[in-house]
Amino acid sequence: MNFVAFARARITAAPVSAVFVAVFAWGVGPLLFLAPLISINSILFYRVLFWPPLLYLIARRGGKLINKKLFRSVLVPGVLFGVSTIFGFTAITETSVANATIIGNVSTAMVLFAAPKFLNEKISRWQVLLALTSFAGVLAIVVGAGDTGGSSLSGDFLALINALTWTFYFISSKRRRVDGVDTWQFLYGVSVVQVCVVVPYALLTSNDILQITWRDLGFLIAMTVFSGTIGHSFMVWAQKYVDASVSSLILLLGPVISSIGAWFVYDQNISLFQVVGGIVVLASLAGVVRLSSTAKISREVLSTADPLLNSNP
């Protein structure tokens, strides 16, 4: 290999590596979320409050302005994002991390079914078949889990509601995205509306908000900076160079990272039936994403790696 080819390979590998870093950051997110000793609703309270200031600094880089038009466009997506946050984070504590993260990923299939009606996109029969197969895999996960690793039907249901809410959020964001507003500005606006939804909920349902310890604070900051900001930053940069279908496939490793981490750190065992169901789900979604590069469907519709639309912890 000559020097030019070597350099070109390294330049190409850097964005792909950045995608892996982002996916790892998001995969670790649920593990950080389980670490604080305060209640789930108190964690939600601090988590959503910490993020907007960081996003504001990033959104204002280079003197960019944030106007009222932005907040009008993000109102509906922000409300849906806040509701998705509540269901998604609660699911992680009510069922196993494996179930919560894998079931949450079927939002890709849900978006596929919504694409023709709401986004004027065409989908293929193979994509529909694979999407239905992913739902069958979810059923196998739920049935095969039993009480393994902290799994519960109520938690699985919350994860499914999160996936459904996230789907509406995705569609709403795509339809309301304002020209001239970059990812960070839009995400900042969404995070502000998210605060207005989640904070009142947390205040009404939590009784230990003021009992936060320095240890809890450290995990919350790590969750905000590492899983939130760093993960999104790497993905934002990488998506300028990496095809959406590729980054979406890599993103499917997120539940795998979360599940292995939960087994290693929190001793959440996974049954063989769950493993089979998880493989079916992820393989089906991988097929859906790969087919999006050849079917007559916008690559953005199935780009769950889009940092604007990703609601991982």
- Angle (CA) 229 96 276, round 5°: 105
What confidence score (pLDDT) does residue 152 get?
A: 82
- Residues 194 and 78 sit within 8 Å (Cβ to Cβ): yes
Q: Which residue has the higher pLDDT, 135 or 276?
A: 276
Distance CA 312, CA 30 (A): 8
The answer on pLDDT for 183 being more than 80 is no
Q: What is the pLDDT at residue 205?
A: 92
66 has a pLDDT exceeding 50: yes
Q: What is the DSSP string of 218-251?
A: HHHHHIIIIIIIIHHHHHHHHTTTS-HHHHHHHH
pLDDT of res. 8: 44
Closest CA to 183 of 238, 225, 220, 221: 238
State the residue range of the domain holding 245: 21-291
Residue 159 has pLDDT above 70, yes or no: yes
Q: Tell me the torsion sign for CA atoms 168, 183, 233, 79.
A: negative
Highest mean pLDDT out of 14-18, 144-148, 175-179: 14-18
Residue 313 lies in a domain: no
Give, as one character, the DSSP assignment of residue 178.
P
Percentage of residues of the chain with pLDDT beyond 70: 73
pLDDT of residue 117: 64
Tens-place pLDDT, residues 211-255:
999 999 999 988 888 877 787 778 777 766 766 556 666 677 778
Within a domain: residue 5? no
The structural domain count of the chain equals 1
Task: Using the structure block, give the residue that is written with the tokens 């590069």.
Answer: 293
What single letter denotes the amino acid at residue 111? V
Inside any domain, residue 124: yes
Which amino acid, 287? G
Please tell me the pTM assigned to this model: 0.78
Instruction: Check whether 204 has a pLDDT greater than 90.
Output: yes
Question: What's the mean pLDDT in 121-146?
Answer: 72
